[in-house]
């Protein structure tokens, strides 16, 4: 559809980066032997990227004029889930965080980065359903993050696409959105690789 053409372009041009971005789901969650520790590790890694990104998005000039960014904040939900899974607030605060999130100078690049953390919500219901089969008790109290767009995933996705269309009134601005998304995917991959050993300790400790 015309009002989502930039989202379609993003999906096409960042496709080679999607498998790595989705890797944690397969690595920690999509297996029959999934444990509470696996789920906790997955959420810890989500948290470490979301927290600095949401802080930077909140300060992005002009972004809140085209999109309600506060309504899309998820780090507090991840904290809720981690606490429900047994971490203390001290342990949550000590989790590694990505240090390569930029300071945004405008909404274009910020929207590209936002795309990367909004995209997982498209499959959140499937992930939640899978985990509910194997971690029933845990999902009853620790699924705030995965359930945050329940019943409104399509509307939230469309709203994001429409915001991109409003911002991208020139080809150059559209290119900046795509470049921002590409940078975010690469930063996410590099950060995960750099923090695997440290976060593995959380997983084993569970």
Give the pLDDT confidence of 127-182 residue by residue, as tens digits: 999 999 999 999 999 999 999 999 999 999 999 999 999 999 999 999 999 999 99
3-state secondary structure 115-170: HHHHHHHHHHHHHHHHHHHHCHHHHHHCCCCCCCCCCCHHHHHHHHHHHHHHHCCC
Q: What stretches of the chain show up as alpha helix (H) in DSSP? A: 5-13, 15-21, 23-24, 36-58, 75-84, 89-93, 107-118, 124-134, 136-141, 153-167, 171-205
Average pLDDT on 176-194 reads 94
Note the maximum CA span of the chain: 51
Asked if the model's pLDDT at residue 202 lies above 50, the reply is no
Domain segments of the chain as ranges: 2-205
Q: Which pLDDT value is given to residue 204?
A: 37
Structure tokens at 145: 């993050």
Asked if the model's pLDDT at residue 87 lies above 50, the reply is yes
- If one compares 202 and 130, the residue with the highest pLDDT of the two is 130
Name the band, by pLDDT with cuts 50, 70 and 90, for residue 192: confident
For residues 83 and 81, give the distance between their C-alpha atoms in angstroms, rounded to a whole number. Answer: 5
Architecture of domain 2-205: Up-down Bundle (1.20)
Q: Which pLDDT value is given to residue 206?
A: 43
Structure tokens at 37: 């520790």
For residues 144 and 146, give the distance between their C-alpha atoms in angstroms, rounded to a whole number. Answer: 6
Name the band, by pLDDT with cuts 50, 70 and 90, for residue 193: confident
For residues 147 and 84, give the distance between their C-alpha atoms in angstroms, rounded to a whole number. Answer: 15
The DSSP element (H or E) to which 88 belongs, if any, is none
Give tens-digit pLDDT for 5-47.
999 999 999 999 999 999 999 999 998 789 999 999 999 999 9
Beta-carbon contacts of residue 25 (< 8 Å; ≥ 6 apart): 42, 120, 123, 127
Name the band, by pLDDT with cuts 50, 70 and 90, for residue 4: confident
Q: How far is CA 201 from CA 11, 23, 40, 95, in A?
A: 34, 19, 11, 11
């Amino acid at each position: 559809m015309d009002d989502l053409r930039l989202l379609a372009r993003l999906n096409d041009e960042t496709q080679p980066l999607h498998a790595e971005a989705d890797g944690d789901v397969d690595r920690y969650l999509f297996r029959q032997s999934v444990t509470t520790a696996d789920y906790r590790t997955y959420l810890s890694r989500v948290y470490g990227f979301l927290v600095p990104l949401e802080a930077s998005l909140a300060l992005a000039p002009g972004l809140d004029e085209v999109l309600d960014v506060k309504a899309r904040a998820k780090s507090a939900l991840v904290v809720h889930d981690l606490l429900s899974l047994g971490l203390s607030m001290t342990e949550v605060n000590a989790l590694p965080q990505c240090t390569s999130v930029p300071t945004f100078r405008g909404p274009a690049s910020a929207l590209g980065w936002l795309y990367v953390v909004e995209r997982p919500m498209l499959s959140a219901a499937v992930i939640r359903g899978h985990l509910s089969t194997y971690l029933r008790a845990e999902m009853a109290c620790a699924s705030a993050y995965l359930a945050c767009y329940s019943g409104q995933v399509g509307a939230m996705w469309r709203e994001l696409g429409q915001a991109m269309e409003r911002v991208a009134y020139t080809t150059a601005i559209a290119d900046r959105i795509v470049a921002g998304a590409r940078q975010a995917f690469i930063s996410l991959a590099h950060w995960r690789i750099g923090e695997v050993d440290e976060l593995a300790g959380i997983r084993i400790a569970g």
